[in-house]
Amino acid sequence: PKLDVRFDVAELVRRVPLFAGLPAERVSTIATLLRAQLALPGETIVRKGERGDAMFFIASGAVEVLVPTLAEPVKLGTGDFFGEMALLSRQRRNADVRALGYCQLLVLDEKDFRRLVQKDADLQSHIQAVAEARRQPTQSS
Ligand code: CMP
């Protein structure tokens, strides 16, 4: 069961470097698109093979990505994002992503993701560059 907790979303958005440099007005617009979600320790947030309908920003906490081609899980923390690859490639989730402790997440639904990157080329190319690096078999993050 997903636990939905109310946070100050704009405050959480500021913790994500991708958004931190944006003017306050943009931050509050983006904040309206993001949904706060609390992940519990050990919870699998994204499951390999599933259809992806959202991406996630970590406002606090850490997750591990179980990349099938890597011996060690990849750890992502505050300010990082995941779940972007399925949205960009329109393929299924390529790894399990599991919460390492309590995690405050910001969820961006696919339709809002498409709208957002369509309007913001810089945002799109940044997310694409990160996904590209992650696609390299030896790259950990
Ligand atoms: P997606 O395929 O939607 O769901 C699993 C996610 O794990 C993927 O998007 C990326 O966000 C993340 N991921 C996959 N491979 C790596 C990697 N090598 N390093 C970091 N994150 C990854």
Residue range 84-110, pLDDT digits in tens: 999 999 999 999 999 999 999 999 999
Do the interacting molecules here have an ipTM over 0.85? Answer: yes
Residues with CB under 6 A from ligand 1: 46, 52, 65, 67, 74, 82-86, 93-95, 97, 134, 139-141
Of all helices (H) and strands (E), which one includes residue 130? helix 121-135
- Domains detected in the chain: 9-135 (2.60.120.10)
Report the separation in Å between the CA atom of 107 and the middle of ligand 1, taken as the mean of its atom positions. Answer: 15
CA nearest ligand 1 atom 6, residue = 83
Q: Give the distance, in angstroms, between the CA of residue 22 and the centroid of all CA atoms in the same chain.
A: 18
Strand pairing report for 44-46 and 103-109: unpaired
Output the six-digit token pair for 138: 């030896």
Return the ligand 1 atom nearest residue 70 CA: 18
- Is the pLDDT at 139 greater than 90? The verdict is no
